[in-house]
């Protein structure tokens, strides 16, 4: 009788361990956006030609994008949240970081200092960015809808503005491919805005 009770107890413990192992949650996976690849050493400003200071921000995302799980489009009016595939930092921070790094690569080296916007900073011009959509179906493509305003010559002096809708296909499958497509979409937006910044900064300097 004692042997039977011990055997039953051991079987119960084994079953409990097995069920706990089967029910354990897999570890979460974290993703980041990537900026444009570095093109090498940066140039130095010429004597008498100080760099212009470009501020980036504020960068505002649509409210539904403020979620740690990667958001995909599941229908015309519905979105899905990934449970285990998440951003390494808030998506707004990721977009700001990559946009700052992209501007540093795209603008002429040595002519600009690019930094996240701080109200107390002495800026020659500033980019304010608003993103109203940044998602797509799990199979792609990713869609980025954004508008921007360029300020210069004063904190509230608008020098230029624009909007863009950029579509990038997925090169592969999974959330890693989604993050890659989002990075390429943001690079395309960065290129469009960089083309306007030179004109605005030169006008401010006159």
Pick from 91, 130, 99: nearest CA to 116: 99
Q: Which residue has the tokens 């943001």?
A: 186
Distance CA 114, CA 76 (A): 37
Terminal-to-terminal C-alpha distance of the chain: 99
pLDDT of residue 179: 97
pLDDT of residue 50: 65
Q: How many residues are present in the chain?
A: 206
Regions of the chain short of the pLDDT cut 70:
1-24, 38-50, 119-121, 155, 201-206
Distances (CA, A) of 118 to 10, 128, 152: 64, 12, 15
- Asked if 124 contacts 196 with a C-beta cutoff of 8 angstroms, the reply is no
pLDDT of residue 112: 85
Strands lying side by side in the sheet with 78-87: 29-31, 78-87, 69-75
Q: Measured at the alpha carbon of residue 83, what is the angle toward residues 77 and 86, in degrees to the nearest 5?
A: 95
pLDDT of residue 2: 46
pLDDT of residue 133: 98
Distances (CA, A) of 128 to 60, 79, 150: 8, 26, 6
Q: What is the pTM of this model?
A: 0.81
pLDDT of residue 108: 82
Structure tokens at 146: 């954004």
pLDDT of residue 70: 97
pLDDT of residue 10: 47
Q: Which CATH number does 52-205 carry? A: 3.40.50.10610
Q: Which residue has the tokens 């354990």?
A: 24
């Amino acid at each position: 009788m004692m042997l039977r009770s011990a055997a039953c107890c051991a079987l119960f413990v084994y079953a409990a361990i097995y069920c706990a192992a089967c029910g354990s949650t897999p570890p979460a996976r974290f993703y980041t956006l990537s900026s444009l690849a570095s093109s090498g050493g940066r140039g130095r400003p010429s004597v008498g030609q100080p760099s212009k200071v470009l501020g980036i921000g504020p960068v505002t995302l649509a409210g539904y994008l403020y979620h740690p799980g990667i958001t995909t489009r599941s229908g015309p009016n519905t979105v899905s949240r990934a449970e285990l595939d998440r951003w390494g930092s808030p998506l707004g921070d990721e977009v700001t970081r990559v946009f700052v790094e992209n501007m540093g690569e795209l603008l002429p080296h040595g002519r600009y200092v690019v930094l996240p916007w701080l109200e107390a900073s002495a800026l020659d011009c500033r980019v304010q960015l608003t993103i109203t959509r940044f998602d797509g179906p799990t199979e792609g493509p990713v869609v980025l809808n954004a508008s921007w305003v360029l300020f210069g010559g004063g904190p509230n002096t608008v020098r230029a503005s624009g909007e863009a809708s950029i579509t990038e296909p997925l090169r592969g499958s999974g959330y890693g491919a989604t993050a890659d497509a989002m990075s390429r979409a943001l690079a395309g937006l960065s290129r469009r805005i960089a083309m306007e910044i030179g004109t605005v900064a030169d006008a401010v300097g006159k």
